Amino acid sequence: MTAITALRQIAPEQSSPAGISAAELDYLMASVQTNRFLPHPPAGSIFVGDGDYRAIGAEFLGHYIRLGRLRPHERILDIGCGIGRMAVPLTQYLDPERGTYDGVDPVMEGILWCAQTITPVYPRFRFQRLDIAHPLYNPQGSLPGTEVQFGFANGSFDFITMISVATHLPPDELVVYLNEASRLLAPGGRLFLTAFAIDGTSTGQERLKFKRWQDGPGWYAIEEAPLAAAGVDTDYLLEAAAAAGLASEGLRRGHWRGTTAAHYQDLLIATKPGAGQ
Look at residue 258 and tell me whether its pLDDT is greater than 90. Answer: no
Does this model's pTM top 0.75? yes
- pLDDT, tens digit (0-9, with 9 covering 90-100), for 216-240: 999 999 989 999 999 999 999 999 9
The DSSP symbol for 185 reads: E
Q: Is the predicted pLDDT of residue 16 greater than 70, yes or no? A: no
Measured between alpha carbons, how far is 55 from 2 in angstroms, rounded to an integer? 10
Residue 129's alpha-carbon distances to 105, 116, 203, in angstroms, are: 5, 13, 34
Of 106-115, 142-151, 250-259, where does mean pLDDT reach its minimum? 250-259
User: Positive or negative, the Cα torsion across 72, 77, 81, 84?
Assistant: positive
**Could you give the CA distance from residue 185 to residue 242 in angstroms, rounded to a whole number?**
14
pLDDT in tens, 59-101: 999 999 999 999 999 999 999 999 999 999 999 999 999 999 9
Residue (of 11, 1, 5) closest to 263 by Cα position = 11
What pLDDT sits at residue 17? 56
